[in-house]
A and B are shown apart, each in its own frame.
Chain A
Amino acid sequence: MVNGPPAVELVDLRKSFGDLVVLDGLTMRVATGGVHALLGQNGAGKTTTVRILATLTRPDSGSARVAGHDVVRERRRVRRTISLAGQHAALDDGQTGAENLTMLARLSGLSGPAARDRAGTLLERFDLTDAAGRRVVTYSGGMRRRLDLAASLVGTPSVIFLDEPTTGLDLRSRQGLWEVIGELAGAGVTVLLTTQYLEEADQLADRITVLHHGGLAAEGTAAELKSRFGAQRLELAWRDAAGFAEAERRLGDRLTHRDPARLALSVATDGSGPQVRSLLDEVDPDRHGVVRFNVREATLDDVFLTLTGQPVTPEREVANV
């Protein structure tokens, strides 16, 4: 699938709601196949991007194409190519799992018997056969999300948008869903998912786009992003505030993280002995300011922190309080 248009192509996409600028000239591209993650904080523009791609919101300016079709001018062709699973599972509580899927399959153009077959196949694939005859109102959170994903597959789309597919799920359900999403990509579908979870992007995505304030902050594979922003981190803990401040001044822009409360700094490094030694000499020439140091692998968290100056994962925010 080297030829042909990319699954998604955004050029200088802009969208404001009143005075609030949500997308500020976003340009990005998603190649066909695999899982692509849009990573960002609340308000970074992830959901708006997905809504524009799913033809639910019109951009103010710029262009957005899905599989080569313009989302405004060729809306109907786009709709035949995509499907969307939103933040809340859009299902009828009063219908059974099988009825929900059969209904959606009928709406996507299948005949009655073909729609029932399709529903049966999807229920089996998403491990819901036992619950097929139960009304959705009795489903657990994880089951609802699985049914929602199954529902987004009834029309055999080639590009699937998943807007925060695992938000609000417990860890086990989340891991179950990750497996399913991985399988989708394995079947040749392009998956574009938004997430606030770095771990999710790291685990699932072949490529990651980091959004910040409605624009592109960085793009690449998890490994690329980590190496571009330093594959390793040297963390330094200081004896006193004066030493901390002095080191902060010396490192300037090279600082990747600072935590004045704990007198801790971190800086990118390649982890080699000579480089770590010269860094230590540079920031602490008198050799008694640094009380502890630690070299570790950079995480996507570090990348995000470097790019945006803020931690991303809500759980971390809670943990930091």
Chain B
Amino acid sequence: MSELTVRRTQAAVMIGRCVRLSRRNVDALLTSLLLPVILMLFFVYLFGGAIDTGSAYVTYVVPGVLLLCAGFGAAGTAVSVTTDLTNGMIERLRTMDVGATSIVAGHVLASVARNLVSTALVLAVAVAIGFRPAVAPLRWLAAVGVLLLFVLAVSWLSAAFGLLARTPEAASGYTFLVMFLPYPSSAFVPVETLPSWLRGFAEHQPVTSVIESLRGLLLDTPVGSAPARAAAWCLGLLALAVVLSAVLFRRRIA
């Protein structure tokens, strides 16, 4: 078998493993599925009345919730990577000559699969409570692409953090960091309503370009350069995460 075939088989086995483990981790699965839905209901029904975005708030907030849910789900990757490190699984895999990339990619791609499911669920509930996206299949596809890229970048960054953390508890702290990043952005309120010192950050942080892309693409409104900026941010972060996790992996395991 060629080197490439071996690596590909190993990656496939690792992905299958991580998907199976996430499917069976019922607590984590329920949290990552239900939390975004509950958050969306909170925003729409509790805060929505007080926030004026110039349109139905549910229409405004759904892209933000999609992203929040993706970020939260993806950050879970950190916990699963740290768990593998602390229970000796990664050491076993290394002594079996399983590639570092296969190990990390298994966690990352399982996270992407997990997030596809939770995104679909959030979207279904959103439609049920009045979210009406435009019917524009190509733009939908582009929106899915942007979201996938975002999930991929955050998952891989989380994996890098998972390689840094010493305990699964520390790794789960990272989930919160990622969960709060969408708040100072245009996800839940228009950026213009933020205090000026925060506006600069909110306008330029990566989450905003992803939100603007999703919103424009799903509602069929002009998006300008947002998708290009979002793609650049995500690809940049992804590249950083891949390099970072390779370095950290080598540092933790010879």
Residue A54 interfacial (CB < 8 Å): yes
Q: Which of A85-93, A219-227, A308-316 touches B?
A: A85-93
User: How would residues 13 to 49 of chain B score, 1 for a CB under 8 Å from any chain A CB and 0 otherwise?
Assistant: 1101100110011000000000000000000000000
Q: Which residue of B lies closest to A102 (CB)?
A: B13
Q: Which residue of B lies closest to A80 (CB)?
A: B97
Interface SS, A side = loop
Establish whether residues A84 and B21, one from each chain, have CB atoms under 8 Å apart when the complex forms.
no
Task: Provide the residues of chain B in CB contact with A55, threshold 8 Å.
Answer: 94-95, 254
Task: Provide the residues of chain B in CB contact with A95, threshold 8 Å.
Answer: 17, 20-21, 24
For the complex, give the distance between the alpha carbons of A103 and B89 in Å. 12
For the complex, give the distance between the alpha carbons of A99 and B18 in Å. 12
For the complex, give the distance between the alpha carbons of A90 and B10 in Å. 18
Residue A141 interfacial (CB < 8 Å): no
Residue A83 interfacial (CB < 8 Å): yes
Establish whether residues A109 and B95, one from each chain, have CB atoms under 8 Å apart when the complex forms.
no
A279 → B minimal CB distance (Å): 51
For the complex, give the distance between the alpha carbons of A56 and B253 in Å. 6
Residue B98 interfacial (CB < 8 Å): yes
Establish whether residues B254 and A90, one from each chain, have CB atoms under 8 Å apart when the complex forms.
no
Establish whether residues A107 and B20, one from each chain, have CB atoms under 8 Å apart when the complex forms.
no
For the complex, give the distance between the alpha carbons of A95 and B92 in Å. 16
Residue B91 interfacial (CB < 8 Å): yes
Establish whether residues B21 and A83, one from each chain, have CB atoms under 8 Å apart when the complex forms.
no
For the complex, give the distance between the alpha carbons of A95 and B14 in Å. 13
For the complex, give the distance between the alpha carbons of A109 and B25 in Å. 28
User: How would residues 171 to 189 of chain B score, 1 for a CB under 8 Å from any chain A CB and 0 otherwise?
Assistant: 0000000000000000000
**Count of inter-chain pairs, beta carbons less than 8 A:** 69
Option from A56, A76, A108 in Cβ contact (under 8 Å) with B91: A56
Option from A88, A107, A151 in Cβ contact (under 8 Å) with B13: A107
Q: How many residues of A are in contact with the other chain, CB < 8 A?
A: 30
A23 → B minimal CB distance (Å): 15
Establish whether residues A109 and B13, one from each chain, have CB atoms under 8 Å apart when the complex forms.
no
Option from B24, B88, B98, B253 in Cβ contact (under 8 Å) with A107: B98
Establish whether residues B1 and A109, one from each chain, have CB atoms under 8 Å apart when the complex forms.
yes
A45 → B minimal CB distance (Å): 17
Establish whether residues A86 and B92, one from each chain, have CB atoms under 8 Å apart when the complex forms.
yes
Residue A214 interfacial (CB < 8 Å): no
Establish whether residues B254 and A79, one from each chain, have CB atoms under 8 Å apart when the complex forms.
no
Establish whether residues B9 and A106, one from each chain, have CB atoms under 8 Å apart when the complex forms.
yes
For the complex, give the distance between the alpha carbons of A92 and B88 in Å. 10
Residue A176 interfacial (CB < 8 Å): no
Residue B93 interfacial (CB < 8 Å): yes
Task: Provide the residues of chain B in CB contact with A289, threshold 8 Å.
Answer: none
Task: Provide the residues of chain A in CB contact with B253, threshold 8 Å.
Answer: 56
Establish whether residues B96 and A107, one from each chain, have CB atoms under 8 Å apart when the complex forms.
yes
Given the known interface contacts A56-B254, A94-B25, the answer about A108 and B96 at a Cβ–Cβ threshold of 8 Å is yes
Given the known interface contacts A94-B24, A95-B21, A107-B10, the answer about A151 and B92 at a Cβ–Cβ threshold of 8 Å is yes
Establish whether residues A90 and B97, one from each chain, have CB atoms under 8 Å apart when the complex forms.
no
A320 → B minimal CB distance (Å): 32
Task: Provide the residues of chain A in CB contact with B97, threshold 8 Å.
Answer: 76, 79-80
A60 → B minimal CB distance (Å): 12
Question: Could you give 12 example pairs across A and B, Cβ below 8 Å?
Answer: A54-B91, A83-B95, A84-B95, A86-B88, A86-B92, A90-B87, A90-B91, A90-B92, A92-B89, A103-B13, A106-B9, A107-B98
- Which A residues lie at the B interface, using CB under 8 A? 54-58, 76, 79-80, 82-84, 86-92, 94-95, 99, 103-104, 106-109, 135, 151, 155
- Which B residues lie at the A interface, using CB under 8 A? 1, 6, 9-10, 13-14, 16-17, 20-21, 24-25, 87-89, 91-98, 253-254
A83-B96, A86-B88 provided; 4 other pairs, C-beta below 8 A?
Answer: A56-B254, A92-B89, A106-B13, A109-B1
